[in-house]
Amino acid sequence: MNLKQLGFTEERIEQTKAWNEKDYEPARIAQEHKGMYTLLSAYGEIRGTISGKMNFEAMSREDYPAVGDWVMCQVRASEGTATIHGVLPRTSKFSRKIAGTTTEEQIIATNIDTVFLVNAMNKDLNLRRIERYLLMAWESGANPVIVLSKSDLCENVAERVNEVETVALGVPIIVISAQTGEGLVELNPYLEDGKTVALLGSSGAGKSTLVNCLYGEEVQKVKEIREGDDKGVHTTTHRELFLLPSGGSLIDTPGMRELQLWNTEDGLSESFQDIESLAEACKFRDCQHEDEPGCAVQGAIQTGDLTTDRFTSFKKLQRELAYLERKNDQKAQLQEKKKWKTISKSMRR
């Protein structure tokens, strides 16, 4: 298997030098199955598990491998298995808070160059959801591209694109149809050798169909959307990295109805550049954009230059991030206690 096509760069080669004395070899995580991993390596596809030492030293989910990671392994080529001993530095990481009330990170994909935010151009097109995806994409370190799928089912394509442009400032928007082939060639520049793209979007957005189109054959199952509300049903059940025949890598992910934020303060400024720019013209530096005199944001709402829905979404995401920050501070304190407790036990042994 060609590791360079998978994204194994000269920089990665430098990172592995410290491991070479131990005869460890690089591989990339293609799938994760409850502690078991599918790896893509120079020997082809092999199965991997993490070492006992790595498991013992892990303090959080971030210390474990995720789909897209480059890892260093002790490979047993004749058996088609490997033991994972370490994760190489990540160039990007798309994360969300796990569903439910627990404050814990779920890593969706790592080492991605571009995030295709796939949204179907039907009744389920949701600008507020796109704002969330953009916010998290910017924070991940990857570049977002909005892919509007199923254009053949949409009667007012131009109108839909204009709506999305109001929340996707400066982000490329590509309209595609898997049925007619429209727009698919425009995705090619993002899928060159050594590049990695992650597909993100809600159920029924057309991600699995897009994977099949780009791969050239059916590698992902496809289900019909529900009648009545155009909402999708889950097809992909796990994250998976595919090496495309034409070059580059593609990570498909399950549809996510719940997309809770995870440490995205910088992404908030990037996603809401329009509001941030308006805020600079406010009379008071600490303006909350409510009823203060000389508020440029409220002025833009009154003139129609800024919609109430977008401003409400901005404030909601701000509150969500503030709450998450408080919860993470508590969790960090608990993790620090756990860390020193582990060190004390080791010293006593």
User: DSSP secondary-structure letter at 5?
Assistant: T
> What count of residues does the chain have?
349
To the question of whether residue 269 is assigned a binding role by annotation, the answer is: no
To the question of whether residue 201 is assigned a binding role by annotation, the answer is: yes
To the question of whether residue 151 is assigned a binding role by annotation, the answer is: yes
Supply φ then ψ for residue 93, to 5 degrees: -155, 120
To the question of whether residue 208 is assigned a binding role by annotation, the answer is: yes
For residue 326, give both structure tokens: 């408080």
To the question of whether residue 282 is assigned a binding role by annotation, the answer is: yes
To the question of whether residue 205 is assigned a binding role by annotation, the answer is: yes
To the question of whether residue 85 is assigned a binding role by annotation, the answer is: no
To the question of whether residue 203 is assigned a binding role by annotation, the answer is: yes
Coil, strand, or helix at residue 324?
Answer: helix
What one-character-per-residue DSSP string does 106-166 give? Answer: EEEEES-SEEEEEEESSTT--HHHHHHHHHHHHHHTSEEEEEEE-GGG-S-HHHHHHHHHT
Separation CA 270–CA 287 (nearest Å): 19
Dihedral angle over CA of 249, 67, 1, 79, nearest 10:
-160
To the question of whether residue 170 is assigned a binding role by annotation, the answer is: no
How far does the chain reach from its first CA to its final CA, in angstroms? Answer: 44
- Residues 147, 210 contacting (CB under 8 angstroms): yes
To the question of whether residue 248 is assigned a binding role by annotation, the answer is: no
To the question of whether residue 140 is assigned a binding role by annotation, the answer is: no
Coil, strand, or helix at residue 94?
Answer: strand
Separation CA 257–CA 204 (nearest Å): 11
To the question of whether residue 287 is assigned a binding role by annotation, the answer is: yes
Coil, strand, or helix at residue 252?
Answer: strand
Separation CA 244–CA 242 (nearest Å): 6
To the question of whether residue 209 is assigned a binding role by annotation, the answer is: yes
To the question of whether residue 204 is assigned a binding role by annotation, the answer is: yes
To the question of whether residue 150 is assigned a binding role by annotation, the answer is: yes
Residue bearing tokens 């909402």: 231
| Conformational region of residue 62, where left means phi above 0, alpha means psi within -120 to 50, and beta covers everything else | alpha
Separation CA 249–CA 241 (nearest Å): 7
**Residue 297 CA: distances (Å) to CA of 8, 34, 288, 300:** 46, 47, 9, 5
For residue 220, give both structure tokens: 């992902």
- Residues tagged in the binding site annotation: 149-152, 201-209, 282, 287, 289, 295
- Residues tagged in the binding site annotation for GTP: 149-152, 201-209
- Residues tagged in the binding site annotation for Zn(2+): 282, 287, 289, 295
